[in-house]
Amino acid sequence: MKRTRHVLAHVANRTSSSSRSSRLDCVTKRHRKPGPGLHRRTLVALRAVGGYCFVVTARGRALYVSEPLAGVLPLDKGRLTEPNLTTLVHEARTSGATVTRAFHTDSWGSMRDLVAQAATIEDNCVLVVLIDRSAEVEATQARRDFVSNVGHELVTPVTSLRLIAQALTASAEDPAMVRDFAGRLTRVTTQLDHMTASMLTLARAQEAPLPDQMRPIDIGDVIDKAVATLANEAEHAGIKLQRKKRGKAVVMGDADALETAVENLVSNAIHYSPSGGRVTITTGRDDSAGTATISVVDQGIGVDPAEQDRIFERFYRTDSARARRTGGTGLGLAIVKHTALAHGGSVRVDSRPGIGSTFALILPQAGAPDTEEEA
């Protein structure tokens, strides 16, 4: 905020000493026309400052819009139309003071949470400087949701531990009961251990790999390790794991992180597929786009279209009861998403309820891929 006030003061000082014989009109860098407008020195100062800022007249006509705001700032025939900003401009012009307001909008794309500061400069014009706080607000909300969700998820196992401990105490003289409760205790502690490990993995996945962790990785090797790790789980669930290779592809990345992401995709497919079903893992590449793709296809229950945008959120489950029966934590797909983002890639889902789902992990290729096809 102090920096923004300094910017406003800086522009005001520059404009007060400007020569009125030199004026320009500039709504954007692409739209210029002669006529009354801002002093040349004011424009020079504004362009030097950069960032998100604009200047409007007393009637709301835009005289200057910084390049990052061109095409984003809501204007109708050159006049400001955003209600929050028009109100701010009016307050700054009538009060003669610097006015600051925070507001939320859903019509500016990725810019959702903004702080705007406005001050009168020359000829009753108003300079507005915008600060995009969207990432900061989103991160704060994510932390709050995470803490809330962790607390909610821990309630059930912690309550179970307390009840089991009480039951063990009450049945200390009955060996059969002790064995039964000891088995329950093991299952609950295993669930807690799994949840803790998943949370730590997610925390690591949200950070970009360190340079010394990045190396060329054959995605076929990543899949081989994931399939070997989950072979027993698939067999126990009655699921057949099938591999398909469509050319060798190499990516730059953290092998451990990518193996964990693929394991989560395959494990998720196993959990949501019926016994006797098949999970197919396909590798491929798109040389024109410079990407490599790992696709996991299942014949499971599918994901409702209304939920497909949410399944990558932390702790979100389409079927909570099923996830708890299979030991799911609700963090697997969030780990996949953040691993993909940390490696400069993405993840997408194509699913139809009752038919199955395809999850695709898309990563940038490392250098020129080998053109030799594999059987």
Could you report the per-residue pLDDT of 82-111, keeping only the tens digit for each? 899 999 999 998 898 999 999 888 877 778
pLDDT of residue 139: 75
Residues 6+ apart with CB under 8 A from 296: 262, 265, 266, 268, 269, 279, 280, 281, 282, 358, 359, 360
Residue 153 binned pLDDT confidence (cut-offs 50, 70, 90) = low
Inter-residue contact 333 to 264 (CB < 8 Å): yes
- Of 74, 98, 132, the one marking the end of a domain is 132
Task: For residue 342, name the pLDDT band (cuts at 50, 70, 90).
Answer: confident
Residue 122's pLDDT is: 78
Name the domain boundary from 132, 158, 189.
132
> Which residues, in sequence order, are CB contacts of 229 under 8 Å at separation 6+?
263
pLDDT surpasses 70 at 5: no
Q: Are residues 226 and 304 in the same domain?
A: yes
Tokens at residue 363, please?
A: 């990563």
- pLDDT tens digits, one per residue of 200-222: 777 777 676 666 677 899 988 99
Does 255 have pLDDT greater than 70? yes
Q: Is the pLDDT of residue 279 over 90?
A: yes
Together in a domain, 115 and 219: no
Determine which of 22-31, 126-135, 332-341 has the lowest per-residue pLDDT on average.
22-31
Q: Give the CATH number, domain containing residue 306.
A: 3.30.565.10
| Same domain as 278, residue 152 | no
Do 153 and 119 reside in the same domain of the chain? Answer: no
As a whole number, mean pLDDT of residues 361-365 equals 92
Model confidence at 243: pLDDT above 90 = no
Do 325 and 300 lie in a common domain?
yes
Least confident of 21-25, 76-80, 365-369: 21-25
Mean pLDDT of 29-35: 39
Looking at residue 35, what is its pLDDT? 36
- Residue 135 is predicted with a pLDDT of 83
Assess whether 53 and 148 both reside in one domain.
no
DSSP state of 373: P
Q: Higher pLDDT residue, 114 or 172?
A: 114
**Overall average pLDDT of the 58-74 stretch:** 87
Q: Kindly state whether residues 111 and 15 are assigned to the same domain.
A: yes
Which whole number is the average pLDDT over 3-8?
A: 48
Pairing state of beta strands 240-245 and 278-286?
A: parallel
3-class SS at 125?
coil
- pLDDT confidence of residue 374: 38
Looking at per-residue pLDDT, the higher value among 323 and 135 belongs to: 135
How far apart are the C-alpha atoms of 219 and 15, rounded to whole Å?
Answer: 59
Between CA 15 and CA 114, with CA 70 as vertex, the angle to 5 degrees is 80
CA distances from 126 to 88, 130, 143 (A): 10, 13, 37
**Whose structure tokens read 């003071």?**
97
Q: Are 161 and 295 in contact (CB under 8 A)?
A: no
pLDDT at 314: 72
Same domain, 57 and 191: no
CA pair distance 43, 66, nearest whole angstrom: 10
Q: What is the CATH number of the domain that holds 171?
A: 1.10.287.130
Residue 212: per-residue pLDDT = 66
Q: Is the domain of 247 the same as that of 354?
A: yes
In the predicted model, is pLDDT for residue 282 greater than 50?
Answer: yes
pLDDT of residue 20: 34
Domain interval for residue 157: 135-205
Q: Burial code of 312-346, b = ≥16 C-beta within 10 A, e = fewer? A: bbbbbbbeeeebbeeebbbbbbbbbbbbbebbebe
111: three-class secondary structure by DSSP: coil
Q: How far is CA 157 from its chain centroid?
A: 29
**pLDDT (tens digit, 9 = 90+) per residue, 297-324?**
998 888 888 787 788 877 776 655 555 5
Whether residue 372 sits in one domain with residue 226: yes
pLDDT given at position 361? 94
CA torsion angle for 234, 190, 268, 291 (degrees, to 10)? -100
Last residue of a domain, one of 183, 205, 227: 205
The CATH number linked to 128 is 3.30.450.20
Q: Tell me, what's the pLDDT at 7?
A: 46
Q: Are 279 and 375 members of one domain?
A: yes
Q: How many separate domains does the chain show?
A: 3
Alpha helices in the chain (DSSP H): 2-16, 40-49, 83-95, 134-170, 175-205, 219-237, 255-271, 320-325, 332-342
Residue 59 sits in the same domain as residue 113: yes
Q: What angle do CA 108, 112, 118 make, to 5 degrees?
A: 85
